[in-house]
Structure 1
Amino acid sequence: MDWPTVILILGVLAIATFVAVIVVATRNESRRLDIDTERSEEIRRLVTRYEELATGTRDAQQRAAADLAELHTRVVGVEKLLRSVE
Structure 2
Amino acid sequence: MSYTWPEVIFFLGVLILVTFLISVFTVGMFESRKSRRQADAAEALQELVQRFEQLARSTVETQERMAAELAELRSRTESIERILRTVE
Instruction: State the TM-score, normalized to the length of structure 1.
Output: 0.93
Instruction: State the TM-score, normalized to the length of structure 2.
Output: 0.91
Number of aligned positions between the proteins: 86
1:49-81 Cα distance to aligned partner (Å, 9 max, x none):
111111111111111111110000000111111
Gaps of 5+ in 2: none
Which of 23, 27, 30 matches 2:29?
Answer: 27
Distance 2:22 2:44 in 1: 33
Matched, 1:69 2:71: yes
Which residue pairs with 2:56 in the alignment? 54
Distance 2:17 2:61 in 1: 66
Distance 1:54 1:75 in 2: 31
Gaps of 5+ in 1: none
